[in-house]
Amino acid sequence: MSIIGWWLGAASVANFVASMVLEIVAVWYPEFEIHNWHQYLIYVCLTWISVAANVFGSAWIPAFNKMLFVLAVLTLSSTMLTLFIVSRNNHADASFIFGDATSRTGWSSNGWSFMLAVGNAVYSFLGSDCSAHLCEEIANPAKMVPRVIVWPLLVGLLTAFPFAVSLMYSITDLDAVFNTSAGLPLIEIYYQGTGSRVAASVLLAFFAFCFFGNLVANGMCYAHLKIWIT
């Protein structure tokens, strides 16, 4: 059962990375028609690359993870600073960022829609139990494993909240965010925040690479689970 859970998590990550790649294409070539099979083929290719990285390059995976951690910290801080600083003249006002909780779905109750949003937010926190499955591979597991489970969650929450604030800060046209042509609103937010296609593409490329690193680590944990069936 947990194997199916990891499959679905990896599939969702690969789907997001594929749609991000197509987003960058759509920004630079707006007349290029994007079909669903484009996204599917990129998704399959990404899955195969992460599997190949795990099968053939498994000795470099810990070093890759450490590099990815540093890259993630750098990307996160640079994206936040860029969005805050570049859009300092035309940004959303505070009542919009912290006070506007109306839902634009068709549900008649705003509270139910907010509960759906909480369920969506839990997606950001999945995957923290990988260390419970790897606890045979760390020294002094009884003391270290709870720390490795809870501390990254705490750090993740503390980093994701300012990042989300910076995303909301740079939205100037909410309707354009909902009606993007390629399906992922993130690049529209980056474009509204920075005002240039180059900056939005570069930021999204780093974002997609960090997400791809997550896919490789996901494959490693999945292979681990598959071998030990736990």
- 41-70 positions binding another protein, by CB under 8 A: 62, 65-66, 68-69
Which of 4, 31, 35, 36 is the binder for another protein (CB under 8 A)? 4
CB of 158 to another protein, least distance (A): 9
Sign of CA dihedral 73, 74, 79, 82: positive
Binding to another protein by residue 84, rule CB under 8 A?
Answer: no
Residue 207 token pair: 């974002």
Of residues 136 through 175, those in contact with another protein by CB under 8 A are 136-157, 159-161, 163-165, 167-168, 171, 174
Which of 58, 126, 198, 226 is the binder for another protein (CB under 8 A)? 126
User: Phi/psi at 117 (nearest 5 deg)?
Assistant: -65, -35
CB of 31 to another protein, least distance (A): 23
How far apart, in whole angstroms, are the C-alpha atoms of residue 141 and residue 162? Answer: 32
User: Angle, nearest 10°, between helix axes 197-228 and 61-86?
Assistant: 150
User: Angle, nearest 10°, between helix axes 197-228 and 2-28?
Assistant: 160
CB of 164 to another protein, least distance (A): 5
CB of 209 to another protein, least distance (A): 10
CB of 106 to another protein, least distance (A): 10
Sign of CA dihedral 188, 21, 209, 120: positive
Number of residues forming the site for another protein (CB under 8 A): 95
How far apart, in whole angstroms, are the C-alpha atoms of residue 158 and residue 64? Answer: 24
